[in-house]
Amino acid sequence: MEDKSDRTLDCLGLYCPEPIYRTRKELDTMKIGEILEVLADDPAAEADIRSLVKRLGQELLSVSNDGNAVRILIKKLK
């Protein structure tokens, strides 16, 4: 499984809708094949970002929880 990201988006301390908005904005600027790492501690961020990735047709590579924070790796497909 991929563990290396091309970009990191730090959304720690931000609450809905900021993590989703910033993730979408960052994905829009990325090239196909690049991997985005999103760090967030908003309790809703994991579910919201999972939905966003599915809706946009991107690939969710991994989700890991570290205490109160979540680390999400997304591969840009289109």
Would 41 be classed as within a structural domain?
yes
pLDDT in tens, 2-18: 568 999 999 999 999 99
pLDDT at res. 67: 84
Active site residue 16: yes
Q: Give residue 44's domain range.
A: 7-75
Would 37 be classed as within a structural domain?
yes
pLDDT in tens, 49-73: 999 999 999 999 999 998 889 999 9
Task: Give the CATH number of the domain where residue 16 resides.
Answer: 3.30.110.40
The three-state secondary structure class of 62 is: strand
Candidates 6, 15, 16, 62; catalytic one: 16
**What is the number of structural domains in the chain?**
1
Output the furthest CA–CA distance in the chain (Å, rounded): 32
Would 1 be classed as within a structural domain?
no
Would 12 be classed as within a structural domain?
yes
Strands (E), the chain: 7-11, 35-40, 59-66, 69-75
Quick check: 44 pLDDT over 70?
yes
Would 68 be classed as within a structural domain?
yes
Would 2 be classed as within a structural domain?
no
The three-state secondary structure class of 41 is: coil
